[in-house]
Amino acid sequence: MTDSALLLLQAAADTTHAYGEFPVIGARAFIWITAEVHLMFAAFVLGVPMFAVVTEAIGIFGGDERYDRLSKEFTRLLLVAYSATAIWGAMLVFGLSTLYPRFWAYLTAIFAPSMWLYAALFFIESFTLYLYYYGWDRWKKGKAKLGHWTLGILLNVWGTTVMFIANSWLTYMMSPPRDITPTTDPTTIKLWHAIANATWMPINVHRVIANVVFGGAIVGAYASYRFLAARTDEERAHYDWMGYVGNFIAMSALIVLPFAGYWLGREIYQYDQSMGITMMGGFMSWLWVIQAFLIAVLFLTGNYYLWIGMGRIPGAERFRPYTKYLLIVLVLGAIVWGTPHTMIADSKELAAMGGSHHPFLGALGVMSAKNTAVNLMILTTFLSFLLYRRANTRPVVPWARTGTIIQGAMFAVAAAVVLFYGIRGYFVEAIVRIGFSVYQVLAVLSCIVFVTVIDILMARGAQSLGAIRWGKMPPRSQYALFILAVTFTWLMGLMGFARSGIRQYWHVWQVMQDTSKYAATPALGYASKMISLCVLIFLSLVAFVFWLGGLAEKSTFVATDEAEKGARRVGH
């Protein structure tokens, strides 16, 4: 423990009040807004570099310069967004240190060294970004280009490390190691002991994936705006393709995200069962109904965008009749997933319902039904991608028919496994039932991997049924991308509320109690207003950032035939 941190702690302890107040909106709302908007910008500036560096690699190793320019356009969006991230981060720190001084002193007493490292890494990260962006045209060829790409990798390394450090602070608030009690002197807590708490790594993994989803969605929204504002067919074609890439990345990563979330939930339960029950069956139980609705919107809108996109692909009409069946599966899955199971209800409500569960819907509200529904929705979405991908090609390999039959069989087997364990789950104990979800997930993931491998092999030398007419998309498809971006952002705010809210009236779970007038955790109605406000602030600022980006440089669109070549690499 350092002298400066001790002095800070002592200063806070000497303060007569543990809490400050912020005018008009109050201290909690101020912290809520600054933390949430900071987090949204941070997710954006961490997610976008991930696929900027991947697209640059495709450009380098695939010899397609178009990807290189796309990567540069992604990176250009980051420059101003970095400043916004830092500004909101500074506001959050000032807010915490003035409105929650005692709590802030407690955190700094434990984490001060990691906070210095955080600041240093953020500094290095920012300058790596400047080098990465401004050196783009200078280091364009040969080894210099590889060096430039290495800068992109370093940018991701710094960014991810910064996020891991910040995650340790917030996860410590959720799940402090069990040997730490209210009487533990924070200056005696070992730094690594506090960092490596029960939920730290699950949150790290969950956020890495979620950042990719989020970055993809925002880039998709950016592309859709540029598409709608485009003055030429070429420009429209380019941004149509860019929007497709953003959506592809977002939806692909979204498919994996529930599994990371499941791991996080399990760790929360293992750390403290009462916290887990508060989250899933306590006062937050209704939150999951809203979450289910949002996920349903994401799946339906994502698929809708793909189905509209098939209108610009010659040959796609042969698959069109199937979309209605896909839609039925998605809608039914969404309805099951949104069925509540256990909720806080008073005696009158329970009496009106005739028991603790609804007599009919109760059977659909259990995890067996929900896991089955979401896995079938994932399979259905993957099938949509597959049809989209194959729309303008006809495989010519001799085993094409056999391959297609095998692919169909894999889908059937995966769906059967999901259904079997879903039904079987009703007849076994909870501890056994939980294990079934692993088999369901493995069946779906195996299907996705093997079917994709077969499809890639089958696509070799495939006959083209015509070039994709990039840019020939109705405006409603682009508005769908906006809905996706808004929904992803809102969902992030909602899940942030869930993660933070399960601490209830504790700053640090069962170690440091919140004794301010804002200690009660608000109901979902109030939370939803705060989330919408944060999303609105974020999207308004992002629109401003995009506008600034547009001022700085011309767009990177290229001719349609290049767009066609590029698109083949991301799913055609």
Binding footprint of other proteins on the chain (CB under 8 A): 178-179, 181-183, 225, 228-229, 271-274, 277-278, 281-283, 286, 289-290, 293-294, 342-347, 350-351, 354-357, 430-431, 475, 479, 482-483, 486-487, 490, 501, 504-505, 510, 514, 519-525, 527-529, 531-532, 535-536, 539
Cβ proximity to other proteins, 26 vs 403, nearer residue: 26
For tokens 């709590």, name the residue.
103
Cβ proximity to other proteins, 129 vs 280, nearer residue: 280
Hey, is 394 helix, strand or coil? strand
Cβ proximity to other proteins, 324 vs 348, nearer residue: 348
For tokens 């809102």, name the residue.
490
Least CB distance to other proteins at residue 523 (A): 4
Least CB distance to other proteins at residue 342 (A): 6
Rounded CA-CA distance 214/226 in Å is 18
Rounded CA-CA distance 491/254 in Å is 12
Selection from 232, 251, 229, 242 nearest residue 71 by Cα: 242
Rounded CA-CA distance 479/551 in Å is 23
Cβ proximity to other proteins, 431 vs 552, nearer residue: 431
The DSSP line for 134-171 is HTTTTS-SHHHHHHHHHHHHHHHHHHHHHHHHHHHHHH
For tokens 């001060």, name the residue.
112
Neighbours of 430 (CB within 10 A): 9
Least CB distance to other proteins at residue 100 (A): 16
Least CB distance to other proteins at residue 341 (A): 9
Cβ proximity to other proteins, 303 vs 487, nearer residue: 487
Cβ proximity to other proteins, 137 vs 179, nearer residue: 179
Cβ proximity to other proteins, 210 vs 524, nearer residue: 524
Cβ proximity to other proteins, 305 vs 490, nearer residue: 490
Question: Is 510 exposed, middle or buried (CB count within 10 Å of its CB: 0-12, 13-18, 19+)?
Answer: middle
Hey, is 507 helix, strand or coil? strand
Rounded CA-CA distance 467/499 in Å is 46
Question: 271, 198 in Cβ contact below 8 A?
Answer: yes
Rg (CA), the chain: 25
Cβ proximity to other proteins, 57 vs 277, nearer residue: 277
Least CB distance to other proteins at residue 174 (A): 15
Question: 187, 26 in Cβ contact below 8 A?
Answer: no
Least CB distance to other proteins at residue 434 (A): 12
Least CB distance to other proteins at residue 481 (A): 10
Least CB distance to other proteins at residue 431 (A): 7
**Single-letter code of the amino acid located at 14:** D
Taking CA 301 as the corner, what is the angle to CA 298 and CA 306, rounded to the nearest 5 degrees? 120
Cβ proximity to other proteins, 108 vs 477, nearer residue: 477
For tokens 């996705």, name the residue.
448
Cβ proximity to other proteins, 53 vs 530, nearer residue: 530
Cβ proximity to other proteins, 468 vs 498, nearer residue: 498
**Single-letter code of the amino acid located at 157:** V
CA dihedral of 165, 166, 167, 170, whole degrees rounded to 10 = 130
Least CB distance to other proteins at residue 258 (A): 20
The H or E element spanning position 417 is helix 400-424
Least CB distance to other proteins at residue 552 (A): 20
Cβ proximity to other proteins, 450 vs 482, nearer residue: 482
Rounded CA-CA distance 378/369 in Å is 14
How far is residue 550 CA from its own chain's centroid?
Answer: 26
463 phi and psi angles, rounded to 5 deg: -75, 130
CA torsion sign, 31 to 37 to 40 to 42? Answer: negative
User: According to the 3-state scheme, what is the secondary structure of 249-262?
Assistant: HHHHHHHHHHHHHH
Cβ proximity to other proteins, 449 vs 520, nearer residue: 520
The DSSP line for 441-496 is HHHHHHHHHHHHHHHHHHTTTPEE-----TT---HHHHHHHHHHHHHHHHHHHHHH
For tokens 């049809």, name the residue.
387
